Amino acid sequence: MFSKKKEDMDTNEKSVEINDQNEVSTPPVPEETTAQNETGSEEKEKIAQLESEIAKLSEELKSTNDKFIRKVAEFDNYKRRIDQEQTNLIKYSSEGFIAKILPVIDDLERSLKFTKETDSANSVRDGVQMIFDKFMKIMNEQGIKKIDSIGNHFDVHLHEAVMMMPRPDVEALTIIEEIESGYYFKDKVLRHSKVIVAMSPENDPAPANSQETKE
């Protein structure tokens, strides 16, 4: 009987030892592994966040690029339109002036027709004078004015002397005759007046054979 009890006790002790061994054989989870798992989760979240931001920036870049392309196209269209307007402005810049001259042309045509039907020189002269006055008025409106020459002192900036003539009654270098009229265009000399200028008689060069004749 005692032997049986002893066997039971031995059996119980062995069971306890086995249980103790089982408890000892189950290793605890290392703290490093837990930390690594947490770090991996955080990195995945950051990557997902960065991918979302990249996608958002890509959309913004695409939208900005589309706007830029549209603006470039609009500017090209604007530049072409301005270039065309400038070309037309240069091409038709004289349109207004020509339109004002047309009535003068009409008057000339009527005068030519009138000269065929009349022998009156005075009527023709008056008609031509009227046309000339009308034409000069149009020219003045465009900034074209005649240079006053006769009776004025010779000015190399305004006049071109084609001849000098002795005139005792006129001060030397006074313009006594105009061969071709000169004109201003606004404040610029468009064409110099071609004139004859007076000179003192004593400055008149004697003919080359004058001394020989006297002798």
Q: Quick one: pLDDT at residue 10?
A: 55
Whether 169 is in a domain gets the answer yes
Whether 190 is in a domain gets the answer yes
Whether 60 is in a domain gets the answer no
**Number of domains forming the structure of the chain:** 1
Q: Is the pTM of this model over 0.75?
A: no
Q: What is the CATH number of the domain that holds 199?
A: 2.30.22.10
Contact 154, 173 (CB under 8 A): yes
Whether 17 is in a domain gets the answer no
Range of the domain at 161: 144-204
- Each residue's pLDDT expressed in tens, for the chain with a length of 215 residues: 545 445 555 555 555 454 544 444 455 545 555 656 666 677 888 888 888 889 888 888 888 988 899 999 999 999 999 988 888 888 777 778 777 887 887 787 777 777 766 667 777 778 888 888 888 888 888 888 989 999 999 999 999 999 999 998 999 999 999 999 899 988 899 899 999 999 987 765 543 333 333 33
